A = this chain, B = another copy of it.
Amino acid sequence: MNKWYNTKSEHNDVILSTRVRFARNLEDFPFPCRLDAEGREKVCQTVRDALSDVSGIKLHYIEMENLTHKQAVALAERHLISPEFASPQKGRALLLSEDESVSIMLCEEDHIRIQVIKGGLDLDGAFDLANKIDDLLDSKLKYAFDERIGYLTQCPTNLGTGMRASVMMHLPALSECNQMSKLASTVSKLGLTIRGSYGEGTNVKGDIFQLSNQVTMGISEKSALDNLKAITMQIATQERSAGEEFIKNVNVLDRITRAYGILSSARLLSTEEMLDLFSWVRLGSVYGINEADIGKINELTEKMQAATLACTYGENLTDNERDEIRAKTVRETLFNA
């Protein structure tokens, strides 16, 4: 089955993906941190039952304790769970759709974390689907909800809508021209935050940044999404205009063409180098310098990270063997070579 990143998407020159997640809790249970394994299992089972008949989406139920460490880390690499959720704990489960666009963490920080990922910029699509699942749960379960505050969550920063919406943006020109700290300070004044692709405190890899809303109280979901969308489009415009200038520089052109040359010829590729080279090749593709398929780059970005690759090709591979498979798969996928 096609994954979410194989679908055609809008604005995918700059915007890789969109995510919307809702944090929800059940009134009849304490927050997960106050539950023992048995209590958490009860929560998981309750939600699982409530979601047994989502129309049109088949959700797989995965008990986290049954996964190997690599399998769990692979889910985090693909942003389907939080890195913290990958550590083994009894009484945690994941509901995951076949195309990996819907993932619902049970008994992470909150009882329920509904997440929807879409390719490119698709805040409405992601919100609508998350909302549909949320409505179904709401009709069957009793959410912890306060008329004045909104949804109750373990962390106060999620109180209110419990919604975090984000877009993953590729911003090589702004980043290489040292515009990111200025941009970060601007968006923070507008109630947003921009940071590395694995969230707070993570390094930026391949010039990929995550822009997300910070405010969940005193603002409707629609306003939050409209605000995020408007600022995303502004940043995309800035990136495109910076990019036009950027690629005129022969040093930049050299980085782009070399990245293409190396990806098409290397026999060993680390994840880090691959992501860095993808960033340049992607930039080149956007400006017609090469004909690299951005969809395939997105796909390889998901599939070729260390743990995900290990789950596909063997968990006991050495680093060198992984780097060899990665290089070969990239050559074959991007260059038919």
Select the stretch in A47-55, A100-108, A110-118, A251-259 that faces chain B.
A251-259
A265 interface residue, CB < 8 Å from B? Answer: yes
A262 interface residue, CB < 8 Å from B? Answer: yes
- In the complex, chain A residues 263-286 whose Cβ is within 8 Å of any chain B Cβ: 263-268
Instruction: Please give the distance in Å from A331's CB to the nearest CB on chain B.
Output: 9
Among B251, B260, B263, B327, point to the contact of A268 (Cβ < 8 A): B251
- B residues within 8 A CB of A260? 265
Interface residues of A, CB < 8 Å — how many?
Answer: 18
Main secondary structure of the interface of A (DSSP, over half): helix
In the bound complex, how far is the Cα of B261 from the Cα of A250, in angstroms? Answer: 18
A320 interface residue, CB < 8 Å from B? Answer: yes
- B residues within 8 A CB of A264? 261
Contact B254 A327 (CB under 8 A): yes
A124 interface residue, CB < 8 Å from B? Answer: no
A299 interface residue, CB < 8 Å from B? Answer: no
Q: A254, A264, A268, A327: which has the most chain B beta carbons within 10 Å?
A: A254
A324 interface residue, CB < 8 Å from B? Answer: yes
Contact A258 B254 (CB under 8 A): no
Mark contacts of A234-262 with chain B using CB atoms, 8 A cut-off: 1 yes-contact digit, 0 otherwise.
00000000000000001101100110111
In the bound complex, how far is the Cα of B229 from the Cα of A47, in angstroms? Answer: 83
Contact B261 A320 (CB under 8 A): no
Instruction: Please give the distance in Å from A203's CB to the nearest CB on chain B.
Output: 25
In the bound complex, how far is the Cα of B255 from the Cα of A262, in angstroms? Answer: 10
- B residues within 8 A CB of A268? 250-251, 254
In the bound complex, how far is the Cα of B257 from the Cα of A263, in angstroms? Answer: 10
Mark contacts of A293-337 with chain B using CB atoms, 8 A cut-off: 1 yes-contact digit, 0 otherwise.
000000000000000000000000000100010010000000000
- In the complex, chain A residues 178-211 whose Cβ is within 8 Å of any chain B Cβ: none
- B residues within 8 A CB of A267? 250, 253-254, 257-258
Listed by A's residue number, 11 A-B pairs whose Cβ atoms lie within 8 Å are A250-B268, A250-B320, A251-B268, A251-B320, A254-B266, A254-B267, A254-B327, A257-B267, A258-B267, A260-B265, A261-B263
By a beta-carbon cutoff of 8 Å, the part of chain A in contact with chain B is 250-251, 253-254, 257-258, 260-268, 320, 324, 327
